[in-house]
Amino acid sequence: MRKLHAIAFAGCLLGLSPLAFAETVNLTNSADGANREAGIAAVKEKLEAACRERGGTPDADSFEVVFERTSENPDVPKPYYADARMKCELPGS
């Protein structure tokens, strides 16, 4: 019977740990760049910074470009535009 109580108590402690309350959120953002590589790198950097700003850990494998466009206007200094999303693991409160 003591083992059952010890196991139940350990389970309660694990259930109340901060990891049990962690959540995954999807962040979205956009950025401009001089070319495709620069635009994608800029939006990825913004998403990682936003995740860390919230105290989370970015999931680089989940990074996905959802929209991209290149301006045909030659006067635009950063003609490449990208929208992307990434998952962020936030700690529980």
Torsion 61-66-71-77 (CA) sign: negative
pTM recorded for the entire structure: 0.73
Residue 53: phi and psi, rounded to 5, are: -60, -30
Task: Tell me if 69 sits within 8 A of 79, measured CB to CB.
Answer: no
Question: Rounded CA gap, 61 and 59, in Å?
Answer: 5
- The candidate with the shortest Cα–Cα distance to 78, out of 45, 47, 38, is 38
Mean pLDDT by 10 residues, the chain (93 residues): 64 52 85 94 96 93 95 90 95 71
Q: What domains, with CATH codes, occur in the chain?
A: 19-90 (3.30.1660.10)
The 10 Å Cβ neighbour count of residue 38 is 15
